Amino acid sequence: MIIPAIDLIDGSVVRLYQGDYNQKTQYTIDPVEVVHDYADQGAQWLHIVDLTGAKDTQKRQLQLIEKMVNTKRMQFQAGGGIRAESDVAQLLDSGVKRIVIGSLAVQQPDLVKSWVTQYGPDAIVLALDVNIDQQGNKVIATQGWQNSSGVALESLLNDFLSVGAKHVLCTDISRDGTLQGANHQLYAEMKQQFPQVLWQASGGIGSLADIDALKPSKVDGVILGRALLEGKFTLKEAIQCWQGA
C-alpha cells in the first residue's frame, strides 16, 4: 500500500532534511486540502508527523489533526513526540487509528509494550529509524536522529513481538529526504526475517522506479513524502505503479 505522509509545524506543511529543524522547506498548502487531494487520488491512509508536538507536547496540533480526521476521507496514523499514555489516548480519541511511536519504544520498551497490550497491536506503529554501519549492523537512532541508542533493530523487534506488535515503519536515515531511492535490501532482509510484521518503508523515494524497485522486497507499505510535495510524480501514479498497473 502507498501511504502519503505529511509533516506539520504550527499548522503548515513542511519537510525537514534528515530530521534537521534548521533545514526546513515550507509548502503553501492547507493540510485539510491535502487530505482531500490525496483521497481523490486514491489514498486510503495518511501518515501525519506533528513536529510541533514532537518539540513540545503541550503544543500538539490536535485541533488541526481532528479537522483532517473529520473529513472522513481516509484512515490516519499519527505521531511526533509521543511520551505518555495521555498522548496516545488523545490521538485515538481524535479519531486517529494508529499511533506512531519512535524514541520511546527504545527508551521505555516496557511502557510501550503495555500500550500494545492495552490498545491492541493495530493501534501502535513502531517507528524505528536506523543507521547501518559498514558491517551491516542496524542500530536504532533516537531523539530525531540526534542520538544512537546502541540498540539493534532485530533485538528490539524480538522484544516487541512477545506482545504481538505488528506494524513497523522503518527508515534508513541515510536515505531520508534525499530522493536517491529506498534501501530495498534492508526491507527484503527484514521482511524475510520477520514475515509476521507489516513493514512500512520510508526514506529516499524520488521516482516511480524507486517504488518499482521495492516490490520484490514484499514490504507492506511505502511512505511517500517529499517526492509528492515536489511533484516528482502524482500519488495516483504511485498507486498505479505499486499495484502493477
Backbone angles phi, psi at 90, to 5 degrees: -60, -50
- Annotation marks residue 129 as catalytic: yes
Instruction: Pick the catalytic residue from 7, 50, 172, 210.
Output: 7
Residue 184 has pLDDT above 60, yes or no: yes
For residue range 124-143, what is the model confidence (pLDDT) as tens digits? 999 999 999 889 999 999 87
Report all structural domains of the chain as residue ranges with CATH numbers, in order of start: 2-242 (3.20.20.70)
27, 43, 92, 99, 193 from 201: Cα distances, Å: 24, 16, 23, 17, 15
For the segment 151-162, the average pLDDT, to the nearest whole number, is 97
Mean pLDDT of the chain: 93
pLDDT at position 146: 65
* Greater model confidence, 221 or 24: 221
pTM for the complete prediction?
0.93
Closest CA to 51 of 5, 97, 89, 94: 5
CB 175 within 8 A of CB 17: no
Residue 179's pLDDT band, with cuts at 50, 70 and 90, is confident
Catalytic residue among 129, 172, 176, 210: 129
Cβ–Cβ < 8 Å for 141, 147 = yes
User: Which of 181 and 36 is assigned the larger pLDDT?
Assistant: 36
What is the rounded average pLDDT of the residues 173-179? 80
Contacts 24+ apart (CB under 8 A), 215-220: 215/242, 216/184, 216/188, 217/184, 217/185, 217/187, 217/188, 217/191, 218/187, 218/188, 218/191, 219/184, 219/187, 219/188, 219/191, 220/1, 220/191
Give the span between the Cα atoms of 161 and 155, in whole angstroms. 10
pLDDT value of residue 18? 65
Q: Which segments of 10-137 are extended strands (E)? A: 12-17, 20-27, 45-50, 75-79, 98-101, 124-132
Q: Are 117 and 87 in contact (CB under 8 A)?
A: no
Give me the pLDDT at residue 130, please. Answer: 94
Is 7 noted as a catalytic residue in this protein?
yes
Q: Which residue has the higher pLDDT, 133 or 163?
A: 163
